[in-house]
Amino acid sequence: MQLNSLGFPRIGRRRELKFALEKYWRGESTQAELHEVAKELRRTHWQWQVAAGIEQVPVGDFAFYDQVLTLSATLNAIPDRHRGEGAIDLDTLFRVARGRAPTGTDAPASEMTKYFNTNYHYLVPELKQDQVFSIAYEQFFDEVAEAQALGYQAKPVLLGPVSYLYLAKTVGQDFDKLSLLPNLLKAYADILARFAAQGVTWVQLEEPILALELAADWQAAISEAYQALKTAQVKILLTSYYGSISHHQALVSALPVAGLHLDLVTAPEQLALFANALRPDQILSAGVVNGRNVWAAEVDLIVERIGSVARDLCSQDGSRLWIGTSCSLLHSPVDLEVETTLTPALRQQLAFAKQKLLELANVRQLLLAPESVAAKEIVNTCLARREAKAQAADAKVIARVTALTQADYERVSEFTDRQAVQQRKYRLPLLPTTTIGSFPQTPAIRGLRSRWRKGELSDAQYTEQLQQVTRDTIDRQLKLGIDVLVHGEAERNDMVEYFGEQLEGVGFTKNGWVQSYGSRCVKPPLIYGDVSRPKAMTVEWAEFAQSLTDKPVKGMLTGPVTILHWSFAREDISRDTIATQLALAIRDEVVDLQNAGIGIIQIDEPAFREGLPLKQSEWQAYLDWAVNAFKLSAAGVVDETQIHTHMCYSEFNDTIAAIAAMDADVITIETSRSRMELLNAFEDFEYPNEIGPGVYDIHSPNTPSVEAMVHLIEKAAQKVPVRQLWVNPDCGLKTRTWDEVEPALKNMVDATRELRRRLG
């Protein structure tokens, strides 16, 4: 019975990769030095996995920016604008991802969006009708050789050919992506042949689209792909995750693959179905430990669920069953051992990536030796953990949720009435300008926070210096001529963590980092209990910023759905119940902001679409409670109070009606990387409220020109009536520098003024 690791976090337990990348991008280190950091991280992570009992270490899960981008480079599917004169190299990948690298010519970065229903972002492949795929980048093969040189058995991991096409976008002429499949399969066959020549036995080909409700042509593509690859001289582990694939059981069970991996965390019910259809020569990899959360596995309950099937497969041939994580551990923090300040009660509930490997071994222990002393200790630990959770319930929070009525979810008046009141109060110009919330978190600000946390600055000293930063941020916006200001969020470490630190029932870590994209890492809060807000979280800073100007300053909050999705949420109650508890906490803050004189309040929901179930037939149930959670958070205010929300890196076409149902007075969205393509959703749907499509890609250091932004605003005005439009960047500006931000915002304001002149 093998233990199966589908992939490991690449950033390092102290974010070593992040810091090495950013140092290289700043020109402070060489590419050789960056590679050395990466090599040491891979060596450490492989060593940990082997020590935990993993026989085949995953290779190809490491990426300098994104594994989908690495695959595009391997397949020679790099946009022409990002290519240099020579072969594809690491800087080529950085130009695709960031629009800029230490070498080569700057060019607009490729589109970036969420990977299925996760908070991980991938670089969208751009494919032409005459696309030719061929091996053009050696990273996969180099890392196989690297693992083998260390004495490890390598199992290459890469996205399967059909999922790769599904995630890609077409450029140039409109055409059917599936027309590229035959040529793509030849390249995949060449990749598998290279692996075989290196002595690889198993290759993990991931087809996460199997969790979707696929049209007939995409189902046929799956069959075509694996029939074409069946002659490969390696064994293929067809890997699914993020949901059930039981609706494709007949299709999948007929595929000529040597093994099948199932996500039995999100869909435990599919085990018996596929086990019964398993051929005698196939192995089944059971993904029973959650790769997307931090809670210690209930190993005894896992064994109860899979026990009969596991015993049956083991009685036939123990090698036919593998025990694995549900998906790659990319979505988990790296190592619980570096968390030294957690309370014992919370710590005993947790398992990070390194510890999840040990949980796989515990599952195997209970399956193979259930009467052993070690097995009994494992069971006793699980029982004690569950008992402690049950005793921690907050009766007041539970009662408040139970007492809610429909009136608690609705604004006092319809939008058109509110809009008239708000226009009289704020008297904003045509195409009002604003930003999304955060401004640069400079090294000086991060240094202040670090010194304060270490006790080197008193609370008063820390507050005084951050007030000066806030004054500076307001002054810069006033000089730029922005209409609706923000205070800049200098006091906030992260848009979710900041709130998590101030809510009851929520814990946080010091090193629980996970990768969001590239070098961007987040540290999700831990929602371990019933959630409430003991005191105001943002009012003092909002009041201070508003005291500095007569222009409106937005109160800035993170919405309940996003806090839920970007936290590690408890699993013993439903997610909609957690969202309702969070919504009540945010509602209390919204009302306090209004009472403090803050008239415009933004409740960010960038993760709204991220929570959609992968199967469209299950969407409505999610949308109902997600919309209600937002409305509950916003509905406690008077008509004069203007509620904004923000969403980014989402396809809006499928959820536009639900977004309208949220009834925010203004929504700001990411659209610049797609060149306003995301606004196509507004062609056939008459969006009733006001909207700010982003005209400035904040994830690239490049400064957009006035002409480029004028063009984007004009494109937006073709989709949305101009009097409903706002002008703003795509997202918050915390990751950029002032040298990048100020010229970009100046151009944004100049572009807006130019259009105001044209429109009279």
Mean pLDDT by 10 residues, the chain (760 residues): 96 97 97 98 98 97 98 98 93 97 94 91 96 97 98 98 98 94 98 98 98 97 98 97 97 98 96 94 96 95 89 73 97 96 92 97 91 91 86 90 97 96 96 95 93 94 96 98 97 91 93 95 94 97 97 97 95 95 98 98 92 92 97 97 86 81 91 62 77 85 91 86 92 92 96 90
Q: Look at residue 362 in the predicted model and tell me its pLDDT.
A: 95
Name the residue with tokens 């393509």.
677
Q: How far apart are CA 205 and CA 200, in angstroms?
A: 14
Measured over the CA atoms of residue 432, residue 435, residue 436 and residue 437, the dihedral's sign is: negative
Token code pair at residue 616: 């469209």
Residue 359, classed as helix, strand or coil, is helix
Strands (E), 652-744: 666-669, 690-693
Q: Look at residue 675 in the predicted model and tell me its pLDDT.
A: 59
Q: Look at residue 681 in the predicted model and tell me its pLDDT.
A: 65
Which among 557, 653, 650 is positioned nearest to 608, based on CA atoms?
650
Which among 348, 284, 273, 287 is positioned nearest to 316, based on CA atoms?
284
Q: Look at residue 311 in the predicted model and tell me its pLDDT.
A: 80
Parallel, antiparallel or unpaired: strands 555-558 and 568-569: unpaired
Q: How far apart are CA 385 and CA 296, in angstroms?
A: 9
Residues that are catalytic: 699
4 and 261 Cβ atoms separated by less than 8 Å: yes
